[in-house]
């Protein structure tokens, strides 16, 4: 039952009680004192019912709030775990990228050194041929 249904029920209960009280006054074969006592009892009954409905609605709202808060805490923990997993993946990728760059730098340096040595050798051999 939604909150609106609960408030509609409570309104209906109060209106119905008031209408019943009016009819009781109009058609009561009892004395005024007896009628007032009976009406007082009915009003107390209506008040008690309304109070019970209110307390039940309040309890239901409290349970719903607690359930939602628990669910949000679970979602927060899941989000933190996922963020940590993503951070670990990013860190691993960065480390692998650094290793790849360092390896490539080393191979490039070796290639340049080889090219430099080959150039010097070629230059020496050209110098010898010209002499």
Residue 49: which residues within 8 A CB-CB, separation 6 or more? 13
Note the pLDDT of residue 13: 81
Residues 65-90 as b/e (b if ≥16 CB within 10 A, e otherwise) read eeeeeeeeeeeeeeeeeeeeeeeeee
What pTM, to 2 d.p., does this model score?
A: 0.46
> pLDDT digit of tens for each residue in the chain (131 aa)?
455 666 788 788 888 888 887 776 667 666 777 777 877 888 888 889 889 989 999 999 999 999 999 999 999 999 999 999 999 999 999 999 888 988 888 888 888 888 888 888 877 776 777 66
Neighbouring CB atoms inside 10 A of 57's CB total 16
């Amino acid at each position: 039952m939604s909150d609106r249904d609960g408030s509609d029920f409570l309104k209906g209960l109060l209106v119905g009680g008031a209408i019943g009280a009016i009819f009781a006054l109009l058609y009561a074969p009892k004395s005024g004192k007896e009628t007032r006592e009976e009406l007082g009892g009915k009003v107390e009954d209506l008040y008690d019912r309304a109070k019970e409905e209110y307390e039940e609605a309040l309890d239901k709202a409290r349970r719903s709030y607690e359930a939602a808060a628990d669910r949000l805490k679970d979602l927060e923990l899941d989000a933190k775990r996922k963020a940590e997993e993503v951070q670990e993946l990013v860190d691993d990728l960065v480390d692998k990228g650094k290793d790849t760059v360092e390896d490539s730098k080393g191979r490039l340096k070796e290639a340049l050194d080889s090219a430099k040595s080959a150039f010097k050798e070629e230059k020496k051999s050209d110098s010898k041929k010209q002499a």
